[in-house]
Structure 1
Amino acid sequence: MRFSLVYLLVSLVTFIFAKKASNVPKGFATTQGRNFEVDGKPFAFVGANSYWLPLLTSKEDVEATFKEMQAGGVKVVRTWGFNAINGSELAGALQSGLTYYQVWNSTEWVLNDGPQGLQRLDYVVETAGKYGIKLIVAFTNNWVGYGGTELYINWITGAGKTHDVFYTDRRIVSSYQRYVQTIVNRYKHSPNIFAWELMNEARCSGDLPAGPNCVPGSNTLHTWYQEQSEFVRDLDSHHMITTGGEGHFYWKTPVGYWWNNTWISDYNYNGQAGEDFDLDLQLENIDFGTYHIYAQYWYPLLDFPGSNWTTKSWGLEWIQQHADAAKKANKPVILEEFGLSGYDNKTDAYPEWVDLALKTEHGGIMPWQFGVNGLKESGGNRLIKYADALIDGASPDDGLAIYRNQTFLWNVFTNAAKVQASRFS
């Protein structure tokens, strides 16, 4: 009787997983425990970040970029599914050829689905599939860049509000969902979409400060993740959903460091950012976890010549901690963004970071950011927006981009791509 019960339970679990797999359309990515799958076969990858792909005005340059990505073993690319401007910027955007999807002139944005708008994203999605690459598409940005949450806040609630009203003001939530519905419905049948991402790097604060309602333990972000992931799941029952978060923890045991005889509570562990990686990963409609590494920028007080603290060692701990959390939740995890300035810093840390991510069975490894040379639009030189520009045919470089002619770094990732591909062969 006891044996029969165990057998029945095993059979039921097997049936549920088989039913889930059979319901996923051909070519769509899904999860099986801590692994990704495509068409019933395990799928692990090295990917890339390229927010600027839909900002290119030349189809030939888009194609050339994907061709180089394919040559580097890239299987998944993360890009922005948002580009919004104020109405006052429209004339300049039309003149410069800037890609934009939303125009804000009042409390309601206007969609641009024309040739300078979503048709450019259409081409990126289409071309990705041509080269066997899938896309993670983020719906909005925690930061002001390319029209993130602050546009919603400023236009809908007016000046003087804190950043976190984005997550709680029902007018803002409704406006965000209207845009999400537009994007999801446009591509919900495409196998070229790997996953939807609720926001890039959601935090309690952004370019605006946090308010008193988004503090450690308030679960403001957790509640928002839950509501929005349920909203997307109702629209699209097949594509995966993730948060796009940086992987901040909310540990009850204090973590911090001493500086100048003062104990500093660590922002990455104390819940102040608003995330709770362990708790958020348990959400039913969050299919996998994401986290980022920017130790140089997060710990400027500790990162100085002669310090016994290093970005490399801290990054290794951060990678292991997220692998442990993913194992506990029995879900995949992606090292979704990581970057160091300085070539020597990259060559010192990246091999060990990537090696540990491979050993801890990360489903994906995605450096920030992919760089490509030889782009030809506007003679290879064009200011896009902010400081983002094509210079001598090179894609935008914030000091973190990795180009093919950086042979050592390029090989770190191409070799890792081979390891990922061989994991389940």
Structure 2
Amino acid sequence: MRLFLYLWLVTSIWACLAAAAPRTIAKRGSSSFVSSSKDGFSVNGSSLRFVGTNLYWLPTLDSNDDISNLLKNISDTGIKVIRIWAFNDVETIPESGTWFQLVQNGTTTINDGPNGLQKLDTVVQMAEQQGLYVIMSLTNNWNPVPNTTTSSTAIPEVLASVTSPRNTLSNDYGGMDLYVRQFGLQNHDDFYTNNQILTAFQNYTKQIVLRYLNSPAVFSWELANDARCNSTIPTSPTCTTQTITKWHAEMAAFIATIDSNHIVSAGTSGFQCPDCPKLYPITPTASPTPSPAPGKKRRSVAPLTKEQIIRQRAESRRQNRAAAKRAGTLKEDGIKIRGRWVSTATREVSSSIGPTTDGSSGVDSQDILNIPNIGFGSFQVFPDQNLYAPNDPNLSPVENKINSSLTWIQQSAQSAAAVGKPVVLNGFGLVTQSNLNDFVPFNMTYAPYASNTAVMDFTTRSGFAGNKRQQSTSEFADDSEQEQGYSSFLQMGNSAGLAGIMQYQWGSTGITQSSSAVQLDTTNSPAPAAATVDSPNDGYSIANNPAIQQILQQGVQAMAQDS
């Protein structure tokens, strides 16, 4: 039943998109740097559509051999693009480990040493040797600090910083909230508007951009991961979608003045706001329709609308209900009169389109994508942390997550097509029951499902789909459901014409452990062998998971065939 629903949905949405926006490959210019156009990406005169992966932690590894081996293993699967954090901000200089920038008391200092930007140099050089391109993200929306309060009104957290080394979690690299705290400000959105912070961030950005100005291994400069109005630090009442759009425009223009080789990209979650006022509205000439395939009529791609979202949800629920009824699994509501069910509840879909599409996060990805200096857009698929549509009672919790994600992929592709620029799914992931001990939501500092977490309270944290209630472990995918979900995400992304699809996140075993964590023998006995561990994991790692790696490899082949 589940597999039927997945395949039916993928096939039906693919048919709609194929009719709406037939794709053609235009003649490409020749350059060793990646370029973007309405037809997608190109390098050296050839089109580039890709399956990629995320390794935010790669520059923090101690061993260059580990970095080299990881990149070779990734390249051997056919993956072409990786995405990493090109930032690592600290408030105080750590005793050991990697850090790129000290942000302290309103001043910044860049670390150009062997445990600083030289580690980033190594990653870029080794990626180029393996024929890989690197998306370089320049800051992060998320940098929560542990809550150590033990009063009766607060919930003590199991701190990741106690049980895991620094940089284990994707949100443990500094970022926007660190700037706000260290510049003595109060609101998260001060990062986007305060002149001192803007100058400091531009200074860091300039150092990174100029450092790799002539490297063809850099795919793009991603301005920020998941930028939005809200984070752990409160937002101000004045933060709107135009606040975030304006910041992207300013930063993209700044980079364009110092680097004409590389494209600039947005790294948002893809949140939409059809009804929000635009700084960069779509005009009839801004989105030329590609030439139709033989035998097809020329069709324009309309922007996403609130009405369309509500209509799609209603139709999806109707079809799911019909499929469940045919399969004999329909969950009837109401009372039975003369052998027939009479509903006692309305079946209408709510007119509220939800936080991913109503602008409440301060993100209008379509408006950001239409900024002239933005080369391509992004969106993400993390249904364990974001609710993309109301749950359908005819589907199981995991089916709802996968079903809503597929529709989200479709909507994101349509939104980008209306602008006439490429869009990349720059991170997708499903948390499995076997990964729950390591799962740390992007706006938390601890693993709420870990066996040593006595109390789980999500009411004080934002950015987590379960923040109003305690989720059951059965609401998370098992290994088989994850494999089905990932296959369907890749198939939908390819069918919808995405320019790239990136899994979150890669994983590996046998990583050399930091020397500071190894107990050295002070006697005259031989030195012990270096300890090894798994790569960092915030709940999405695919270490020890050859099935997912094979699915990614199949996705690589499918994207290549359809290019």
Query: Could you tell me the TM-score, scaled by structure 2's length?
Result: 0.64
Change over 3 Å in CA distance of 1:280–1:105 after alignment to 2:
closer
1:397-416 per-residue CA deviation (whole Å, 9 max, x = no partner) reads: 2221123x423221111011
Separation (CA, whole Å) in 2 of partners of 1:366 and 1:423: 17
Change over 3 Å in CA distance of 1:396–1:42 after alignment to 2:
same
Match of 2:482 in 1: 346
Offset, 1:377: 4.0
Match of 1:368 in 2: 504
Could you say what secondary structure the match of 2:134 adopts? strand
Separation (CA, whole Å) in 2 of partners of 1:336 and 1:391: 32
Match of 1:147 in 2: 174
Separation (CA, whole Å) in 1 of partners of 2:353 and 2:491: 30
Match of 1:393 in 2: 533
Residues 356, 387 of structure 2: 8 Å contact kept: no
Match of 2:562 in 1: 423
Match of 2:417 in 1: 327
**Alignment match of 2:382 (pick from 294, 300, 318):** 294
Separation (CA, whole Å) in 1 of partners of 2:62 and 2:392: 39
Separation (CA, whole Å) in 2 of partners of 1:228 and 1:163: 17
Change over 3 Å in CA distance of 1:264–1:235 after alignment to 2:
same
Separation (CA, whole Å) in 1 of partners of 2:261 and 2:206: 15
1:275 and 2:374 matched: no
Offset, 1:394: 1.6
**Alignment match of 1:36 (pick from 41, 56, 65):** 41
Letter in 1 for 2:411: Q
Change over 3 Å in CA distance of 1:102–1:423 after alignment to 2:
same
Separation (CA, whole Å) in 2 of partners of 1:104 and 1:236: 25
Whose relative contact order is higher, 1 or 2, with alpha carbons under 8 Å and at least 6 apart? 2
Separation (CA, whole Å) in 1 of partners of 2:507 and 2:48: 24
Letter in 2 for 1:209: P
Separation (CA, whole Å) in 2 of partners of 1:233 and 1:418: 34
Separation (CA, whole Å) in 2 of partners of 1:55 and 1:120: 7
Change over 3 Å in CA distance of 1:308–1:351 after alignment to 2:
closer
Higher mean C-alpha deviation, range 311-320 or range 373-382: 373-382
Separation (CA, whole Å) in 2 of partners of 1:154 and 1:325: 35
Match of 2:107 in 1: 108
Change over 3 Å in CA distance of 1:84–1:327 after alignment to 2:
same
Could you say what secondary structure the match of 2:51 adopts? strand
Match of 2:167 in 1: none
**Alignment match of 1:212 (pick from 237, 242, 262):** 237
Offset, 1:422: 3.1
- RMSD (CA atoms): 2.7
Residues 134, 218 of structure 2: 8 Å contact kept: yes
Could you say what secondary structure the match of 2:503 adopts? coil
Offset, 1:420: 2.2
Match of 1:54 in 2: 59
Match of 2:406 in 1: 316
Offset, 1:40: 1.1
**Alignment match of 1:21 (pick from 20, 23, 29):** 29
Letter in 2 for 1:198: L
1:71 and 2:61 matched: no
Percent of paired sites with the same residue? 32
**Alignment match of 2:197 (pick from 172, 177, 202):** 172
Could you say what secondary structure the match of 1:243 adopts? strand
Could you say what secondary structure the match of 1:340 adopts? coil
Change over 3 Å in CA distance of 1:170–1:380 after alignment to 2:
closer
Offset, 1:392: 4.9
Residues 53, 503 of structure 2: 8 Å contact kept: yes
Change over 3 Å in CA distance of 1:293–1:283 after alignment to 2:
same
Which ranges in structure 1 are unaligned for 5 or more consecutive residues? Answer: 1-16, 383-389
Letter in 2 for 1:351: S
User: Which structure carries more helix by proportion?
Assistant: 1
1:42-101 per-residue CA deviation (whole Å, 9 max, x = no partner) reads: 0111111001100101111110110111112111110001001112xx2xx23xx31101
Could you say what secondary structure the match of 2:231 adopts? coil
Offset, 1:298: 1.7
Change over 3 Å in CA distance of 1:380–1:401 after alignment to 2:
farther
Offset, 1:226: 0.6
Residues 34, 262 of structure 2: 8 Å contact kept: yes
Higher mean C-alpha deviation, range 124-133 or range 204-213: 204-213
Residues 103, 109 of structure 1: 8 Å contact kept: yes
Offset, 1:242: 0.6
Bigger Rg, structure 1 or 2: 2
1:408 and 2:551 matched: no
Separation (CA, whole Å) in 1 of partners of 2:179 and 2:66: 32
Change over 3 Å in CA distance of 1:420–1:223 after alignment to 2:
same
**Alignment match of 1:187 (pick from 195, 201, 212):** 212
Residues 296, 303 of structure 1: 8 Å contact kept: no
Change over 3 Å in CA distance of 1:368–1:101 after alignment to 2:
same
Offset, 1:421: 2.7
Change over 3 Å in CA distance of 1:296–1:112 after alignment to 2:
same
Separation (CA, whole Å) in 1 of partners of 2:392 and 2:223: 32
1:225 and 2:252 matched: no
Match of 1:266 in 2: 354
Query: Could you tell me the TM-score, scaled by structure 1's length?
Result: 0.84
Residues 357, 365 of structure 1: 8 Å contact kept: yes
Corresponding residue pairs, total: 385
Separation (CA, whole Å) in 2 of partners of 1:142 and 1:413: 28
